[in-house]
Chains A and B, each alone.
Chain A
């Protein structure tokens, strides 16, 4: 009987993957993210802080800009908008392709599955960080409009630091929600539950649990880098809190761990396409 040996066929192409294929995937995913209705909805939501600031500043006794900064830049945006953006995009890293039945076109290309996942995750981080940074900058401009600080400290120091801070948070959130989306189809519900329970409630209590949240490190970094007004309510003792470098390291290492988990799940998972005939 003849052996069905593999040695008879010589694959002329090298093993591994080509950077051009990953670059094409990066561009494709970027185009997908920038086209969707989701982007427009999020952009409208992100305009909310700026619109609210305008309304507040139109009142007879507007609060000082520092208080507005704390309320909107350090509370509304990170608690609601940034987390929601990360969840909506990261939960769809692969799920969107499954729902639109286009994942097949990616799986039948010479791309390792882990590279496919990580490339799409990278695009998601870039897009969510850019959206958050852009609208945070807009909120800063509206908050400090007509003040001496705007063209000095705000645009040259606070906005870049806040952008970096949000980028770090988005790296953490996207990696986490991406991994969750590989574990369950109900990643949106699971993600929302996590945001409310951990990032929304438990992050406010001075306990060990809050050290498991992205929000804790975000706040420590915010205090260390930007020292926002009213941050005493966060109950962060700088003497015992991790250093800025430690916060960055913890966020990046945790993100890397979640990214690896997501990629590993992608490698082992099957994506059955239900055909129109159900065969």
Chain B
């Protein structure tokens, strides 16, 4: 894949010095939070999306973890100004985001929903997003080409989106989030549907963005995806902040439970025969209706580490990898007790 790793953000996040006697909200000296939620609640009628959440996220790459229904997407929709908090304040880079269009120049969002203007080509779509960000034609064209190169879509950018694979669609969504050079990037479940190789490459892209000064908040319900990106994690459960800090502590809890990974593949029986021989695999279950194999392991790092090689081997043909959510839910149940 033709990855362009030279992508740069418009400006790195600013760092300010605290005044005398001041302590930074992030807990880190001298760092203004890129995202600050102060007592934020969000209700959808009688259903609560977020519950009195106070949270400050520092510059860098941060993982937003939680099982389905934890409030991750509500968090991201609030942080990107799509929703107005029912209570409390949301600030990004120190600015309120609700009905603040100029702030959108600083923010990029890769949404979870698999929606596009299907009749466009990938290039057309990303260029249109650049134009909607206020770029003139030549600038938008150059920015779209660069963003698509960054996510490895140069070769396929002139094909119609309707013919893209899930992985290509994910990358195109990421490209539209990058195209205007945001300072803060929000990625909502960006690895959904990607194959192991594509996942590895996207992780590299996100790493590169972080190294070049772009702050990234990645939501996921799969700890090992987030762990590959950052050691800073925020855990949400049922709209509340459960924990924040180093991923290692969470990992220890997770590893107490068998990790369940689903591999979608045409020859899933052949794949099952291969992985069952691995020592770190504790169990294998056929999911005939999904043409998939469910693998249980207590050493997910080792398992995930082998996947790219397996995926590139002739005949494996893994289409999709995702983590079953049950194990993470179990850990969250433990944490909130």
Nearest to B102 among chain A residues (CB) is A15
Nearest to B133 among chain A residues (CB) is A109
Option from A17, A20, A279 in Cβ contact (under 8 Å) with B72:
A279
Contact A107 B81, CB 8 Å, known A4-B38, A17-B101, A275-B113: yes
Interface 1/0 per residue, B181-209 and A, CB below 8 Å: 00000001100100000000000000000
**B95 x A275 contact (CB < 8 A):** no
Option from A9, A25, A32, A109 in Cβ contact (under 8 Å) with B104:
A109
Q: Chain A residues near B56 (CB, 8 Å)? A: 4
Asked if A44 is at the interface (CB within 8 A of a chain B CB), the reply is no
**A11 x B36 contact (CB < 8 A):** no
CA–CA, A188 and B71, complex, Å: 33
**B113 x A13 contact (CB < 8 A):** no
Asked if B176 is at the interface (CB within 8 A of a chain A CB), the reply is yes
CA–CA, A32 and B70, complex, Å: 35
Interface 1/0 per residue, A262-279 and B, CB below 8 Å: 000001001111011111
**A279 x B111 contact (CB < 8 A):** no
Asked if B24 is at the interface (CB within 8 A of a chain A CB), the reply is yes
Asked if B128 is at the interface (CB within 8 A of a chain A CB), the reply is yes
The stretch of B15-23, B145-153, B227-235, B276-284 that contacts the partner chain? B15-23
Option from B82, B103, B176 in Cβ contact (under 8 Å) with A271:
B82
Asked if A104 is at the interface (CB within 8 A of a chain B CB), the reply is yes
CA–CA, A23 and B113, complex, Å: 26
Asked if B260 is at the interface (CB within 8 A of a chain A CB), the reply is no
The stretch of A110-118, A141-149, A164-172 that contacts the partner chain? A110-118
CA–CA, A32 and B99, complex, Å: 25
Interface 1/0 per residue, B65-97 and A, CB below 8 Å: 010111111100100111110000001011110
Please count the residue pairs between chain A and chain B whose beta carbons lie under 8 angstroms apart in the complex: 154
Nearest to B69 among chain A residues (CB) is A279
CA–CA, A73 and B31, complex, Å: 69
Nearest to A12 among chain B residues (CB) is B11
Asked if B105 is at the interface (CB within 8 A of a chain A CB), the reply is yes
Option from A21, A107, A113, A279 in Cβ contact (under 8 Å) with B133:
A21
Distance (Å) between the CB of A16 and the closest chain B CB? 7
Contact A108 B107, CB 8 Å, known A8-B14, A20-B136: yes
**B44 x A108 contact (CB < 8 A):** no
Distance (Å) between the CB of B46 and the closest chain A CB? 14
> Which DSSP category, helix, strand, loop or mixed, fits chain A's interface?
loop
Q: Which of B30-69 contact A (CB under 8 A)?
A: 32-33, 36, 38, 44, 56, 66, 68-69
Interface size on A, residues (CB 8 A): 49
**B14 x A107 contact (CB < 8 A):** no
Asked if B117 is at the interface (CB within 8 A of a chain A CB), the reply is yes
Contact A105 B73, CB 8 Å, known A4-B91, A272-B83: no
**A102 x B117 contact (CB < 8 A):** yes
**B113 x A276 contact (CB < 8 A):** yes
CA–CA, A160 and B305, complex, Å: 71
Q: Chain B residues near A273 (CB, 8 Å)? A: 73, 77, 82, 111, 113
Contact A105 B129, CB 8 Å, known A4-B56, A32-B117, A279-B69: yes
**A108 x B113 contact (CB < 8 A):** no
Q: Chain A residues near B106 (CB, 8 Å)? A: 11
CA–CA, A180 and B138, complex, Å: 39
Nearest to B113 among chain A residues (CB) is A101
Contact A9 B129, CB 8 Å, known A20-B136, A108-B82, A276-B112: no
**B82 x A104 contact (CB < 8 A):** yes
Contact A100 B115, CB 8 Å, known A6-B91, A9-B14, A279-B69: yes
Asked if A208 is at the interface (CB within 8 A of a chain B CB), the reply is no
A-B CB proximity, top 8 nearest: A24-B131, A101-B115, A18-B134, A6-B94, A9-B94, A109-B132, A2-B22, A110-B104
B-to-A contact residues, CB < 8 Å: 10-11, 14, 16, 18-19, 22-25, 32-33, 36, 38, 44, 56, 66, 68-74, 77, 80-84, 91, 93-96, 99, 101-109, 111-117, 119, 128-129, 131-136, 176, 188-189, 192, 221
A-to-B contact residues, CB < 8 Å: 1-18, 20-21, 23-25, 28, 32, 35, 100-102, 104-113, 267, 270-273, 275-279
- A/B interface sample: 26 pairs, CB < 8 A: A4-B32, A4-B36, A6-B94, A8-B32, A9-B32, A10-B14, A11-B95, A11-B102, A12-B10, A13-B102, A20-B134, A32-B117, A102-B115, A102-B117, A105-B176, A106-B132, A107-B82, A109-B129, A110-B133, A111-B104, A273-B111, A275-B73, A276-B112, A277-B221, A279-B68, A279-B71
